[in-house]
């Protein structure tokens, strides 16, 4: 098996110190191959975005700290780098499309300047060279009339065009790995399909590896090669997309799939998962999903399950995994 472009081992994010310490992301591990699209899914608050911000070392508070055995990007351990070296990595080798581009595009800077800023910083390009590269990237992401639009401000773009511009900013320096945080949120169905098609095309053209953060299994089914499911800060299942969607082994994964409208046809109401995810400073004993789980057994309230291989690369953290072909 080839060496993954990104190797994440026991990545954690911890808030506070001493008795007030709370673990927000707990020992997340996965590999990402060149050209692979990994869907990171789970309910809001499950830790998806926090885990990926930890990869970027862009945590929203100085009260948060990152721990882990390794986060290796093409063999280089990011956890061992100081902030100056991480600035060299961000944008150049590891890019991120942030949720809600309206909040992450500077309203006072022209789009071309925002794309060119990273190109000048990381590639030493002149202002003219950066502008030319910005026009080329805008063309690649499907912005019409890029020669004119390069001088537009974010408010002059539609929602879909702002999302494309955000992708262009992230791709300006040809990163090896792109993190896309809910890239289709608040977009209508037609524009959503265009953005997903764009990401697939970029993967095919550049060999780009992508982590797709989403709560939408429909998006995952259309775009991803593999899926990692998060619940209450931990990974609970990880595997090939087709295997995982057809044969989920964790009850939480099966419940998420069962909540999708397409699988609820014939029911008067959509299915839901009873209860709420736990607060991270008041976790249940044992499996974190056990208060909401319909499959629990004797160990579920006693021991926290660890990830175990089931078949091939499929892994699940469950004391009593569902049999192949079972439904929730």
Per-residue confidence (pLDDT) for residue 284, from 0 to 100: 95
Q: Where a domain ends, among 201, 224, 247?
A: 224
Per the structure, how many domains does the chain have? 2
Report the percentage of the chain scoring pLDDT > 90.
70
Per-residue pLDDT tens for 193-208? 988 999 999 899 989 9
Residue 160 lies in a domain: yes
The first and second tokens of residue 25, run together, are 């992301």
Q: Looking at the structure, tell me whether residues 247 and 220 fall in a common domain.
A: no
Domain boundaries, position 245: 227-328
Per-residue confidence (pLDDT) for residue 115, from 0 to 100: 95
- The contacts of residue 292 (CB under 8 Å, 6+ apart) are 252, 255, 273, 274, 275
Residue 4 lies in a domain: no
Residue 22 lies in a domain: no
**What's the average model confidence in pLDDT over 216-227?**
92
The first and second tokens of residue 219, run together, are 């998006």
Per-residue confidence (pLDDT) for residue 103, from 0 to 100: 81
Q: Looking at the structure, tell me whether residues 40 and 178 fall in a common domain.
A: yes
Residue 25 lies in a domain: no
Q: Looking at the structure, tell me whether residues 196 and 52 fall in a common domain.
A: yes
pLDDT at 263 over 50: no
Per-residue pLDDT tens for 128-178? 999 999 999 999 999 999 999 999 999 999 988 999 999 999 988 889 999
Q: Looking at the structure, tell me whether residues 203 and 311 fall in a common domain.
A: no
Residue 213 lies in a domain: yes
Q: Looking at the structure, tell me whether residues 244 and 153 fall in a common domain.
A: no
Q: Looking at the structure, tell me whether residues 238 and 191 fall in a common domain.
A: no
Q: Looking at the structure, tell me whether residues 61 and 200 fall in a common domain.
A: yes
Q: Which residues does residue 76 pair with via DSSP β-bridges, in sequence order? A: 73
What is the chain's mean pLDDT, rounded? 91
Q: Looking at the structure, tell me whether residues 291 and 192 fall in a common domain.
A: no
Per-residue confidence (pLDDT) for residue 186, from 0 to 100: 73
Q: Indicate the pTM of the whole model.
A: 0.91
Q: Looking at the structure, tell me whether residues 173 and 113 fall in a common domain.
A: yes
Per-residue pLDDT tens for 82-120? 999 999 999 889 999 988 877 889 999 999 999 999 999
Residue 26 lies in a domain: no
Per-residue confidence (pLDDT) for residue 267, from 0 to 100: 53
Per-residue confidence (pLDDT) for residue 209, from 0 to 100: 96
- Rounded CA-CA distance 117/132 in Å is 12
Q: Where a domain ends, among 197, 224, 251?
A: 224
Per-residue pLDDT tens for 280-294? 999 999 999 999 998
CB 44 within 8 A of CB 233: no
Per-residue pLDDT tens for 32-52? 999 999 999 999 999 999 999
Q: Looking at the structure, tell me whether residues 234 and 218 fall in a common domain.
A: no
**What's the average model confidence in pLDDT over 14-41?**
94
Residue 326 lies in a domain: yes
Q: Where a domain ends, among 207, 224, 241?
A: 224
Q: Could you tell me the CATH number of the domain that includes residue 97?
A: 3.40.50.300
Q: Looking at the structure, tell me whether residues 277 and 244 fall in a common domain.
A: yes
Residue 15 lies in a domain: no
Sign of the C-alpha dihedral, residues 243, 224, 12, 292? negative
Q: How confident is the model at residue 184 (pLDDT cuts 50, 70, 90)?
A: confident
Q: Looking at the structure, tell me whether residues 306 and 162 fall in a common domain.
A: no
């Amino acid at each position: 098996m080839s060496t993954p472009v990104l190797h994440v081992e026991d990545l954690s994010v911890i808030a506070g110190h001493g008795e007030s310490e709370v673990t927000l992301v707990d020992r997340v591990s996965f590999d990402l191959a060149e050209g692979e699209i990994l869907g990171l899914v789970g309910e809001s608050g499950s830790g998806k975005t926090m885990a990926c911000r930890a990869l970027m070392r862009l945590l929203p508070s100085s009260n948060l700290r990152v721990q882990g055995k390794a986060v290796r990007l093409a063999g280089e351990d990011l956890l061992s780098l100081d902030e100056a070296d991480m600035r060299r990595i961000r944008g150049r080798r590891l890019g991120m499309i942030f949720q809600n581009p309206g909040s992450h595009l500077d309203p006072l800077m022209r789009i071309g300047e925002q794309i060119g800023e990273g190109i000048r910083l990381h590639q030493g390009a002149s202002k003219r060279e950066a502008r030319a590269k910005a026009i080329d990237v805008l063309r690649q992401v499907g912005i019409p009339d890029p020669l004119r639009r390069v001088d537009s401000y974010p408010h002059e773009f539609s929602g879909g065009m702002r999302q494309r511009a955000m992708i262009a900013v992230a791709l300006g320096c040809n990163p090896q790995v792109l993190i896309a945080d809910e890239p289709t949120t608040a977009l209508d169905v037609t524009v959503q399909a265009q953005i997903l098609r764009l990401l697939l095309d970029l993967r095919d053209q550049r060999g780009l590896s992508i982590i797709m953060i989403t709560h939408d299994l429909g998006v995952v089914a259309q775009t991803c090669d593999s899926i990692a499911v998060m619940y209450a800060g931990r990974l609970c299942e990880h595997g090939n997309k087709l295997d995982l969607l057809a044969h989920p082994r964790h009850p939480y994964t099966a419940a998420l799939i069962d909540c999708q409208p397409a699988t609820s046809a014939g029911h008067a109401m959509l299915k839901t998962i009873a209860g709420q995810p736990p607060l991270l400073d008041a976790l249940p004993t044992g499996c974190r999903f056990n208060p909401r789980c319909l499959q629990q057994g004797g160990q579920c309230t006693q021991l926290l399950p660890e990830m175990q291989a089931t078949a091939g690369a499929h892994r699940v953290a469950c004391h009593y995994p569902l049999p192949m072909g079972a439904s929730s």
